Amino acid sequence: MYAIETTDLTKRYGSTTAVEELDLAIPEGVVYGFLGPNGAGKTTTMRMLTTLTTPTEGSAAIAGHSIGSRDDVVDHIGYLPEEPPLYDELTGREQLDYIAGLRDVPAEQSDERIGSLLDRFDLAADADDRISTYSKGMKQKTGIIQALLHEPDVVFLDEPTSGLDPRAARTVRNTIAELVAGDTTVFLSTHILPVVAELANEVGVLYEGSLVAEGPPDALTERMETGEESTLEDVFLEVTGGQEDAAPEHE
C-alpha cells in the first residue's frame, strides 16, 4: 500500500488548469520532495491531498483512504500550510491544547506530547506567551508541532523551514529524518533545494500543473548531461525552463 497514491488527479478553476493528470505513488516512510516554481500547482495539489479542495477529475488515496471522504483521511494526515494556522489571541500551549482537543487525543498523551515537542523545538519557555508576540520562526515551529501532535501517517509540510534560524531549521530537518525512520511519510514542498537534496528519498518537480520530472535526487542529477557536476538546482532550472536566466555562467 502506498502512503500517497494519485491517478490522473486534475484540478481546474474555470478554464485554468491548476493541476493536470498528476500520477503519484509514494511509498510509506519516505520524504517526497515536491518542487516547482511559484504558481506551478503545488499548493493546489496539497489542498486536494488534504481534502481541502475537491479534484475536478481523477482520484487519490492517503494511507489507503480515498480523499473523497474527509472523515476517513484526516486522522492520518498532519498539515502545515505556508502560513502557520495559529490564533493570535491564544498562547502557544493553549493553541496546541486546542488542536489536541479537536483531535480528541487523550489528555495524558496530549500533555506529554505537547511538553516533549515544545522542549524539542525550544519553545517551552515561551509556551505561555500569546502567539501575537511570537516571531515568524516561533510561529512556524508551533505550526509544525501542531501538525505532528497526533502522530499522523502522512505529514504535508509547505515550506517548513521558511523563516527559521539555522538552529531551528536544523531541528526541523532532524525531526523530518526521525519521522521517516518511524515510518511516517513526509510530503515536503519547499523552495530550499539543499533541504530536499539532504532529506528527500524521492523528488517530483511540478511545472505548469504537470509532473515534469520525478525520481531519487541522485538519479535526477545524473540525468543532467551538462558535462559538469550537476545539482538539484540545475535539474530544477532545466525542467522548469529557467536555466539561462539563473545560471549565466553555463552559457
- The answer to whether residue 74 forms part of the interface with another protein (CB under 8 A) is yes
Q: Nearer Cβ to another protein, position 48 or 205?
A: 48
Starting at the edge strand that comes first in sequence, how are the strands of the sheet with 4-13 ordered?
A: 16-26, 4-13, 57-62, 65-66
What b/e string do you get for 141-163 counting C-beta neighbours within 10 Å, with b at 16 or more? bbbbbbbbbbebbbbbbbbbbbb
Cα 132 to Cα 191: distance, rounded to the nearest angstrom: 27
- The answer to whether residue 50 forms part of the interface with another protein (CB under 8 A) is yes
The x, y and z cell numbers of residue 123, run together, are 519553545
Cα 162 to Cα 140: distance, rounded to the nearest angstrom: 8
Q: Nearer Cβ to another protein, position 25 or 107?
A: 107
Range in contact with another protein (rule: CB under 8 A) among 1-9, 88-96, 185-193, 195-203? 88-96
| Member of 6, 51, 184, 185 binding another protein (CB under 8 A) | 51
User: Residues touching another protein: how many (CB under 8 A)?
Assistant: 68
SS3 annotation, 132-185: HHCCHHHHHHHHHHHHHCCCCCEEEEECCCCCCCHHHHHHHHHHHHHHHHCCCE
Question: According to CB under 8 A, which residues from 119 to 138 bind another protein?
Answer: 119, 122-130, 132-138
- The answer to whether residue 170 forms part of the interface with another protein (CB under 8 A) is no
Q: Nearer Cβ to another protein, position 50 or 240?
A: 50
- The answer to whether residue 31 forms part of the interface with another protein (CB under 8 A) is no
Q: Nearer Cβ to another protein, position 59 or 226?
A: 59
- The answer to whether residue 81 forms part of the interface with another protein (CB under 8 A) is yes
